[in-house]
Amino acid sequence: MIDPKLIDVFPINGHDGYPAELAAEDTPDALRDACGSASREFPAALWIEPRDWVEKARENDAAGAWGINFIDRFTNQDPTHECTCHSLRVNVEAARNRARGVNYGGPKKDFRYPESRDFGSVWLSPLSVYAEANPRQWGGANVRRVLEIAVRRGIMPETVQPYDYQFRHALHGTTGRGGFNQSRGPWTPLSRFPDGWEETAKWFRPLEVIFPESYEQAVCLVLHGMVVSVGRNGHAVPWARWMPDQRLMAYPDSYDIVRYDSERTAKSAWKGSFAVASVTLPDDWSRPAG
């Protein structure tokens, strides 16, 4: 059984980077427009009848085919307002690892998988998106803005990586706590990014972004091993596994921990959600930025 204290956890002080006034801008039409040609409707081929969800979940458990299996690290934003960008980085990193077919088993605190080094996992900097989405350190950013940025110009890698890729440009991941697999550092506005950073960031862009049109479609995306990022109740999170026994959505929260949204919360949150279906991929995984 899941500890009830880990279910429906919402910010104590109003928001962690997803305030109501910004959340109001995250309408389905606005999100699709933000992604332009990368926007995709929910593919009919991904539909799974609700009566078959439990069977599919059991298959995913056995095969290690959940989105959370393709995630190899936690990040920790505490106490910043970077949550939409941390949720985005989970989605993009999982899509990239899913394309490689690497099952990590899910993130573990203060642990680094050797497979992250061996199979070309790249850790992306939430701050490299947040600093453009909000030129101030505090206040947060909505889903629409961070998606538009990521699709348009990509995400810069972190300075901490599982392997020395010799990136020409990198940025620490957060101004918050960071962790074993995440770098931290001072607030860095866009104007102080390293010269030519766009040439590296462009290698890490979402190419196809799917927008579910119902709660049921969102569950189907998760059942197909995708991560569905949502903003709800002042905080943005990446759903990465559906748990049929308690009908919970598990997500690696940006506080070094896996938490869960109840079905009630999930049904109220899907309208501001998206799943990254594909990303830019390298010809040589040992040289991910060309």
pLDDT digits (tens, 9 = 90+) for 221-264: 999 999 999 999 999 999 999 999 999 999 999 999 999 999 99
Predicted local confidence at residue 230, as pLDDT:
97
Q: What pLDDT was estimated at residue 78?
A: 97
Q: Which SS3 state, helix, strand or coil, does residue 44 take? A: helix
In this prediction, residue 1 carries a pLDDT of 82
Decide if pLDDT at 59 tops 90.
yes
* CATH class held by domain 4-279: alpha beta
18 close to 236: Cβ distance less than 8 angstroms: yes
Q: HSE, CB side, 13 Å, CA atoms: give it for residue 118.
A: 8
Nearest Cα neighbor of 88 from 267, 209, 196 is: 209
More confident residue, 123 or 28: 123
Tokens 């506005």 map to which residue? 189
Query: Residue 28: which of 42, 15, 45, 13 has the closest Cα?
Result: 42
Residue 201: which residues within 8 A CB-CB, separation 6 or more? 128, 153, 154, 155, 156, 169
Peptide bond into 79 cis (omega under 30): yes
Q: Does pLDDT of 194 surpass 90? A: yes
Contact 169, 196 (CB under 8 A): yes
**pLDDT class for 31, splitting at 50, 70, 90?**
very high
Reported as a single tens digit per residue, the pLDDT across 72-105 is 999 999 999 999 999 999 999 999 999 999 999 9
Please tell me which residue, 39 or 290, carries the higher pLDDT value.
39
| Whether the predicted pLDDT of 159 surpasses 90 | yes
Proportion of the chain above pLDDT 90, given as a percent: 97
Starting at the edge strand found earlier in the chain, the sheet holding 274-279 runs 39-41, 206-211, 274-279, 228-232, 235-239
Q: Report the pLDDT value the prediction gives residue 13, as an integer from 0 to 100.
A: 82
- 61 confidence band (pLDDT: 50, 70, 90): very high
What percent of the chain clears pLDDT 70, i.e. is strictly above it?
A: 100
